[in-house]
Structure 1
Amino acid sequence: MKTANQNLSTLKVERSQRYFNKLSLFFYDFILYGVISKYAWGSSIQRLDAHYKKYVSSNHLEVGVGTGFLLNRVVFDTAKPRLALMDLSRECLAKTKFKVSRYAPETYIQNLLEPVQHKIAKFDSIAINYVMHCVPGSFKEKGIAFSHLQPLLTDNSVLFGTSVLSEDVHKNLFAKPFMWLMNYLGVFNNRNDNARDLKDFLEKNFQVLDFEVVGVTAFFAVKNK
């Protein structure tokens, strides 16, 4: 039986997910990567591409796929990589699967706050890009999402990604109102997110390879201890 906190988290997840529909996804890439990421969050497409290039492998799981914009830009080191997509949104999975259909990706529907129920062979890299700021709770609570993905990592594989922070970061004049709006609508759940809590959780559970805050965006990469 779920607790009251678990039920509240489920409601917040469902509230966030309803904004990822065919209409919003049509404009998603231009709004997020063309405008907001660069001018509000402080991370350019080039910076995001570089993060992928450094850590992605040809046996890769993409978690929280969005439209597959960044994934579609990846140059794998083989013509036939093993690629898997994981998301709670069927709309996001369908759009991304179509965009990267040349790789015949596996797809998995999954709530990150719950243990992974699928039987999946492990991966050499897992990306979770611009996802955690949508997940309810502080990192002390929603960090469990990383723990749920941990069994899918091979001994030497890397989990990497980004997340938009709210606490103890400098928000420019564009970031302040937009972040407030995203939290008000329930798309974001990051009012209590800060670099300290994120890094503390990662250090307790993984070996941290990379951790940097660019603008209001945390870039991270970890591997199993």
Structure 2
Amino acid sequence: MIRRMIRLYGTWSAEYGLIRTHVLIFCSILEKSHKSLIGLTHRVSMDPSARIYSRFNLHLYDIVVLVVSNAWAWRCSTTSTLLPFFHKNLGESAHLDVGVGTGYYPAKSVHPFSKTGNVTLVDLNEATLSTATSRLRHAGYKGTIDEVQHNVFQPLPESLRGRFDSVSLFYLLHCLPGRMEDKGPKVLANLADALRPDGVLYGATILGRGPGVSHNWFGRRLMGLYNKKGIFGNADDTLDELKRALEGCFEEVEVKLVGVVALFEARRPKMK
């Protein structure tokens, strides 16, 4: 029994050491990648959270974020938790996806989108918009795809208001600068304007602290790096602040925590 425990401990130590080594290399690559983008500051008026998504980095995004970080750092599976949650709330007529990344979630939703005539993509970064559009079309989506380059802190264009059955914002809020109590109400109120009366706004965001939120070593390492570089702005984001921001804009709100990720649904926008 003792020998078996020693062998198990040795195996665990080796695996942990390997993971730790890979994490350190991974963080080093991210930091170097971010430094290589600093030169864009004077040419592109974007926050670091948007500027990091260059065409080169978008090729790494699915592995870095959806596979490695979600599984090891945030402890919220892309395939078993986030993607089913994305499918659960999709509207049948028109869907708005905000903060599109590589377009992974829409592209993995072609079958649920079979009756959806329009998918509109909103992002501040032109590279993410074109990448997501190409991916969605390549996946076989037959409806219309609209791209809108827009800052979510600003009111939506009139053409987007009251049009959508569903609005998704996956991993957007934690990338925005500012405290949740400040950025949350502004952004959510703007996006609520896109909904039809019976529509739903839903998404996921990584929290920084608060009851129930406990980051592991990998998560703390990434949180420190991302917040230092301005890629994340969630060091003080809590579940309670997120819920208050949602309740300030919607009559019906549901929030749950998976790992350190908050999944939320909101319906019946309040009158302004």
Q: TM-score, normalised by structure 2?
A: 0.75
CA offset at residue 12 of structure 1?
Answer: 9.9
Change over 3 Å in CA distance of 1:82–1:156 after alignment to 2: same
Larger Rg: 2
After superposition, where does 1:21-60 map in structure 2 within 5 Å? 21-45=54-78, 46-58=80-92, 59-60=94-95
Size of the aligned set, in residue pairs, is 215
Secondary structure of 1:42's counterpart equals: coil
* CA RMSD, 1 decimal: 1.7
Show the counterpart of 1:120.
160
> Does the aligned pair in 2 maintain the 1:12–1:186 contact within 8 Å?
no
Show the counterpart of 2:215.
171
Q: Whose RCO is larger (CA < 8 A, sep 6+)?
A: 1
> Does the aligned pair in 2 maintain the 1:84–1:105 contact within 8 Å?
yes
Contiguous gaps of at least 5 residues in structure 2: 1-43
Task: Determine the C-alpha separation between the residues in 2 that align with 1:86 and 1:31.
Answer: 22
After superposition, where does 1:206-221 map in structure 2 within 5 Å? 206-221=250-265
Task: Determine the C-alpha separation between the residues in 2 that align with 1:209 and 1:155.
Answer: 15
Task: Determine the C-alpha separation between the residues in 2 that align with 1:17 and 1:202.
Answer: 23
Change over 3 Å in CA distance of 1:198–1:36 after alignment to 2: same
Show the counterpart of 2:146.
106
Secondary structure of 2:122's counterpart equals: strand
Show the counterpart of 1:6.
none
Secondary structure of 2:148's counterpart equals: strand
> Does the aligned pair in 2 maintain the 1:116–1:148 contact within 8 Å?
yes
Structure with greater proportional helix content = 2
- Write the letter of the residue equivalent to 2:151: N
Change over 3 Å in CA distance of 1:50–1:209 after alignment to 2: farther
Match of residue 123, structure 2, among 74, 87, 106: 87
CA offset at residue 27 of structure 1?
Answer: 0.4
- Write the letter of the residue equivalent to 2:171: Y
CA offset at residue 204 of structure 1?
Answer: 2.1
Show the counterpart of 2:33.
none
- Write the letter of the residue equivalent to 2:172: V
Match of residue 147, structure 1, among 180, 189, 192: 189
> Does the aligned pair in 2 maintain the 1:57–1:76 contact within 8 Å?
no
Contiguous gaps of at least 5 residues in structure 1: 1-10
Task: Determine the C-alpha separation between the residues in 1 that align with 2:171 and 2:48.
Answer: 17
- Write the letter of the residue equivalent to 2:174: H
Secondary structure of 1:224's counterpart equals: strand
Kindly report structure 1 stretches of 4+ aligned residues shifted beyond 3 Å. none
Show the counterpart of 2:227.
183
CA offset at residue 23 of structure 1?
Answer: 1.0
Secondary structure of 2:159's counterpart equals: coil
Deviations 1:60-89 (A, max 9, x none): 000000001111111325355311000000
> Does the aligned pair in 1 maintain the 2:96–2:164 contact within 8 Å?
yes
Show the counterpart of 2:29.
none
Change over 3 Å in CA distance of 1:112–1:77 after alignment to 2: closer
Secondary structure of 1:160's counterpart equals: strand
Change over 3 Å in CA distance of 1:47–1:203 after alignment to 2: same
> Does the aligned pair in 2 maintain the 1:155–1:224 contact within 8 Å?
yes
Task: Determine the C-alpha separation between the residues in 1 that align with 2:187 and 2:45.
Answer: 15
Q: TM-score, normalised by structure 1?
A: 0.90
CA offset at residue 192 of structure 1?
Answer: 1.5
